[in-house]
A and B are shown apart, each in its own frame.
Chain A
Amino acid sequence: MFLKTLAIASLTVRSAVRSRLLICLLVILFVVTLGIPLSVRGDGTALSEVKILLLYTLGTGSVILGLATLWASCSAVSHEVEHKQIRTVVVKPVGPYLLWFGKWIGIVILDAVLLLLMGLLTYALLFMSLRSAGSEPEDLGTINSQVLTARRLFLPKEVDLSSEVHRTVDELKRTGQMPEDVSEEETMQLIYRRLRARRTTVAPGASLSWEFDTQGLNTSRGSLFLRYRIGSSIGGSRQITGTWRVDAGKNGDSFNTGPIPMADGRHLIEIPASTISPGGNVTVRFENAAKGSSRTVIFHGDNHLELLAPAGGFLLNMVRSLLVVFCYLVVLAALGVTAGILFSFPVATFAAFSLSSIVLIVGFFAFSSSLTVCDHHDHDHGGGKASVMERVGETMLEGLEMALSPVRGIAPLGRLADGVYVPLWTVVRAVLILGVVCPGILGLLGGYCMSRRELAAN
């Protein structure tokens, strides 16, 4: 069985390599990999140049490889059926499932080789550009600590607000202040949002604390970083002054920045490793300066506060990221081979590209539709209600989003360019979902369809 699979795989690789379009795409891949570092520019800092080089080179390269994979895999079976070469294979003792597997493995081997080459080329280019750019030692230090590293990301513990929400609703009911035109569920959601907003706003003279569970943190690799995103009550103002305090209780030293001026935006503070002790809780506190020297501070977004701790080297992080990208290519190869069995080559490529595009954009449309649903609420119960078609569309989008969420939620290249650790669990999840489960389902479908198809007809 192994030899049979190998034979089919090598034939698939040979046939793919002979395809002119595939060769064109691969030439584009190498031109892009070499050309992007020369043509793109960051915001003027060495740090942004490195981030862009990583993100754009690997990102564009992955997209081109994805296109090449779909093209090659769609043609793997459909061209053989079209040119009747498949007859010579099906008359031999090769089952439909083995044929599907052999074709798929052939494309996967090709992808593995090309991705490896792309990764090596990018890695070499990255370090060559760092050496030739003659960056300042300070810039190199920043690049090393913020991009060429793998920092584990810790988020603050979620504060359970449900009891407070229920207490507030009970209070409203008791005092007869429950709004009549809004359901209880909606009232609870509104109260929850208001309480959450309080957890992200700090008035002058006030303070706010967050707790981090630092289980699994390794402090031996150097300083930690606290990354936060703030805005002031008056946009664009630079009149925010605050003090950050980091306290690990009995287990470590305490650290404070002293009053520092800040502007709206994202900031990074270095925290000495001695402050944090692994395995315990760390309290981070922001103290806003008094009125007159500061304004109300708003912590923006879901991830407004992150604790970043060095957890490994850049190379291993890059390998993990490329493994996840490889898993995406694996699933595309499976999709293409199955589509090639089901349809003729043009229809197969169209179907495979369409399906991949839907997977890519469904998140955006589901998000937009969720916003539309929110907008539909209106207190007067007049106009603005969603039509039946809209509701059906929204339900379909939400269902699709839910079904695809395990596949869509793994995006390693952004993390790699941001110097954030790609956890092993993410790789395992990608291998399981994208490398085993999805191809498995597609393989079963492809094999079944092939067994039902009269390949020797006409």
Chain B
Amino acid sequence: MNKRANIFLVVATVGCLALAAFQNRSLSETRSNRVGDLTGIANPAPIVTFVTVVLGGFRGLIADVLWLRATRLQDEARFFELAQLAEWITQLEPSCTQIWAYHAWNMSYNVSVMMSDDEDRWRWVNNGVRLLRDKGIPANPEDPRIYCELGWLYQHKIGKDMDPAHMTFKMKLAESVQALLNGEGPDYAALEVNSKLARDLARDFSLDLRVMQRIDRTYGPLDWRLPETHAIYWAYLGKRRANGEKQLPANRIIYQGMAYSFFLGDLISQEGGLSRAPRWPLLPKVHTAFKDALAAHDDDENITEAYVGFLRNAVLVLHAYGKEDESKATFDTLHELAPSTETQAGLELFVGNNNIRMASPGYVREILASLPGKVSP
């Protein structure tokens, strides 16, 4: 090829690039108007930019191949590659929250239950949590759904007792937080935002000390060794990114987490491990959480029902622990919110008619039954 032709080709290339750059802005605007922002964020993570821009249309094809492999391996109960495949698949479709949620849920729920050993189960639950917390949220920081998905994993998978290994999950989480905090929560007054602890919390749990402080001020003091507190943290962040009805999932996690934290929010060290007890100072904060949710969602029937359920149980528990004043005040709130023949009969009759066996859910029965002189449920 002669020299002239080479020069022409170089000039043509530069010209084409300039033309492409010139059209880029209008093309981006057209794309945003028609299909929305591909990344959904102002400053996407480098990996998001890489897969959306460099791989172009091929990323769908690559994602399909990885999906097929992941499905086949899971069918064959070969799990060792799944965490890596899930990470790649989600990074190929970084702005699709459902894909992040699916893979996190798949690892935490489907794969974990395939493990006989509790430690193995915890590893897979944690793999799901880490995928959302460490990769999914940085890739979609403005999507409230992904925060709620993470909150749900903390609240349901780790916090509830659906999994036979749930105590291991709780212990592992409590131990890892305890190792950093050396107690139930940070001493905000003594800490700076850039302290080593703040950096460790961000590194190990993606927790921001300032947000923790705000949450403790609004809903706490909470015990950060408990999964419910982490659920509330992530739901709180999700709620701040949502409007109107889109706040509902976050509000649910918050009031459910608060209710649970009230009944079982005090971790007590004792021989043979940790036990849990009611955290009395949280009572007014639980009322606030429910009332905020009711106000935000036009007195939603389900939230009212959940609040009534909480109040009924709270009356029983407070009464059983001899906290007469708080029990009476809670009972009055219950009567005001959902008056019935039962509440019209007065506190003593209400408590007498609602014995331990009728209390629900199970953990409330356990709290009541654990008191001396009570009948085992």
The reply to whether A41 and B84 contact each other, CB–CB distance below 8 Å, is yes
Q: Which residue of B75, B76, B83, B87 contacts A44 across the interface (Cβ within 8 Å)?
A: B83
- Residues facing A in B303-325 (CB within 8 A) are none
How many whole Å from B245's CB to the nearest CB in chain A?
32
How many whole Å from A264's CB to the nearest CB in chain B?
5
Chain B residues lying within 8 Å of A267, measured Cβ to Cβ, are 116
Alpha-carbon gap, A238 to B164, bound state (A): 8
The reply to whether A43 and B77 contact each other, CB–CB distance below 8 Å, is no
B63-85 interface code vs A (CB 8 A; 1 in, 0 out)? 00000100000011111111110
Assess whether A48 is interfacial by the CB under 8 Å rule: yes
Assess whether B14 is interfacial by the CB under 8 Å rule: no
Alpha-carbon gap, A235 to B110, bound state (A): 9
The reply to whether B80 and A238 contact each other, CB–CB distance below 8 Å, is no
Alpha-carbon gap, A43 to B122, bound state (A): 11
- Residues facing B in A284-310 (CB within 8 A) are 300-301
Using A52-B84, A265-B77, A301-B76 as known contacts, say yes or no to A43 and B116 having CB atoms under 8 A apart: no
Alpha-carbon gap, A364 to B64, bound state (A): 13
- Residues facing A in B227-283 (CB within 8 A) are none
Interface secondary structure of B, over-half rule: helix
- Residues facing B in A230-266 (CB within 8 A) are 235-236, 238, 261-266
Chain B residues lying within 8 Å of A235, measured Cβ to Cβ, are 113
How many whole Å from B237's CB to the nearest CB in chain A?
26
Alpha-carbon gap, A346 to B124, bound state (A): 47
Q: Which residue of A lies closest to B126 (CB)?
A: A44
How many whole Å from A363's CB to the nearest CB in chain B?
12
The reply to whether A43 and B82 contact each other, CB–CB distance below 8 Å, is yes
Q: Which residue of B lies closest to A266 (CB)?
A: B77
Alpha-carbon gap, A51 to B82, bound state (A): 12
Q: Which residue of A lies closest to B78 (CB)?
A: A266
How many whole Å from B284's CB to the nearest CB in chain A?
39
Chain B residues lying within 8 Å of A88, measured Cβ to Cβ, are none
Using A261-B116, A263-B114 as known contacts, say yes or no to A42 and B76 having CB atoms under 8 A apart: no
The reply to whether B116 and A44 contact each other, CB–CB distance below 8 Å, is no
The reply to whether B127 and A44 contact each other, CB–CB distance below 8 Å, is yes
The reply to whether A264 and B113 contact each other, CB–CB distance below 8 Å, is yes
- Chain A contact-residue range equals 20 to 34
The reply to whether A263 and B116 contact each other, CB–CB distance below 8 Å, is yes
Chain B residues lying within 8 Å of A261, measured Cβ to Cβ, are 116
Chain A residues lying within 8 Å of B113, measured Cβ to Cβ, are 235-236, 238, 263-264
Alpha-carbon gap, A195 to B84, bound state (A): 39
The reply to whether B123 and A45 contact each other, CB–CB distance below 8 Å, is yes
Q: Which residue of A42, A47, A264 contacts B81 across the interface (Cβ within 8 Å)?
A: A42
Alpha-carbon gap, A126 to B77, bound state (A): 25
The reply to whether A42 and B80 contact each other, CB–CB distance below 8 Å, is yes
Assess whether B53 is interfacial by the CB under 8 Å rule: no
Alpha-carbon gap, A235 to B77, bound state (A): 14
Q: Which residue of B lies closest to A42 (CB)?
A: B80
The reply to whether A43 and B127 contact each other, CB–CB distance below 8 Å, is yes
Alpha-carbon gap, A123 to B81, bound state (A): 20
B101-120 interface code vs A (CB 8 A; 1 in, 0 out)? 00000000010011110000
The reply to whether B164 and A43 contact each other, CB–CB distance below 8 Å, is no
Using A263-B113, A263-B114, A263-B115 as known contacts, say yes or no to A41 and B77 having CB atoms under 8 A apart: no
The reply to whether B116 and A41 contact each other, CB–CB distance below 8 Å, is no
The reply to whether A42 and B83 contact each other, CB–CB distance below 8 Å, is yes
The reply to whether A300 and B80 contact each other, CB–CB distance below 8 Å, is no
Alpha-carbon gap, A379 to B229, bound state (A): 56
Q: Which residue of A lies closest to B122 (CB)?
A: A44
Assess whether A40 is interfacial by the CB under 8 Å rule: yes
Q: Which of B80, B83, B87, B127 has the most CB of A within 10 A?
A: B80
Q: Which residue of B lies closest to A41 (CB)?
A: B84
Alpha-carbon gap, A47 to B79, bound state (A): 12
How many whole Å from A62's CB to the nearest CB in chain B?
16
Alpha-carbon gap, A263 to B120, bound state (A): 12
Alpha-carbon gap, A52 to B84, bound state (A): 9
How many whole Å from A265's CB to the nearest CB in chain B?
3
The reply to whether B81 and A265 contact each other, CB–CB distance below 8 Å, is no
Chain B residues lying within 8 Å of A364, measured Cβ to Cβ, are 68
Chain B residues lying within 8 Å of A48, measured Cβ to Cβ, are 80-81
Assess whether A229 is interfacial by the CB under 8 Å rule: yes
Alpha-carbon gap, A45 to B84, bound state (A): 13
How many whole Å from A60's CB to the nearest CB in chain B?
12
Chain B residues lying within 8 Å of A301, measured Cβ to Cβ, are 75-76
Alpha-carbon gap, A311 to B77, bound state (A): 24
Using A44-B83, A263-B114, A264-B113 as known contacts, say yes or no to A229 and B127 having CB atoms under 8 A apart: no
- Residues facing B in A10-61 (CB within 8 A) are 40-45, 47-48, 51-52, 55
The reply to whether B116 and A262 contact each other, CB–CB distance below 8 Å, is yes
The reply to whether A52 and B81 contact each other, CB–CB distance below 8 Å, is yes
Alpha-carbon gap, A262 to B120, bound state (A): 13
A75-89 interface code vs B (CB 8 A; 1 in, 0 out)? 000000000000000
Q: Which residue of B lies closest to A40 (CB)?
A: B84
Alpha-carbon gap, A265 to B164, bound state (A): 16
The reply to whether B123 and A43 contact each other, CB–CB distance below 8 Å, is yes
Alpha-carbon gap, A43 to B164, bound state (A): 21
Chain B residues lying within 8 Å of A266, measured Cβ to Cβ, are 77-78, 114
Alpha-carbon gap, A301 to B83, bound state (A): 23
Q: Which residue of A41, A229, A236, A263 contacts B83 across the interface (Cβ within 8 Å)?
A: A41
Chain A residues lying within 8 Å of B78, measured Cβ to Cβ, are 266
Alpha-carbon gap, A228 to B79, bound state (A): 15
Alpha-carbon gap, A95 to B206, bound state (A): 70
Using A229-B77, A238-B164 as known contacts, say yes or no to A265 and B115 having CB atoms under 8 A apart: yes
Q: Which residue of B lies closest to A48 (CB)?
A: B80
Q: Which residue of A lies closest to B130 (CB)?
A: A44
27 A–B pairs (Cβ distance < 8 Å), ordered by A: A41-B83, A41-B87, A42-B81, A43-B79, A43-B80, A43-B82, A43-B123, A43-B124, A44-B83, A44-B126, A45-B80, A45-B123, A48-B80, A48-B81, A51-B80, A51-B81, A52-B80, A52-B81, A52-B84, A262-B116, A265-B114, A266-B77, A266-B78, A266-B114, A301-B75, A301-B76, A364-B68
Closest A-B pairs by Cβ, 8 of them: A265-B114, A48-B80, A236-B113, A266-B77, A263-B116, A44-B123, A43-B83, A265-B77
Known: A41-B84, A44-B127. 4 other contacts (CB 8 A): A42-B83, A52-B84, A263-B113, A266-B78
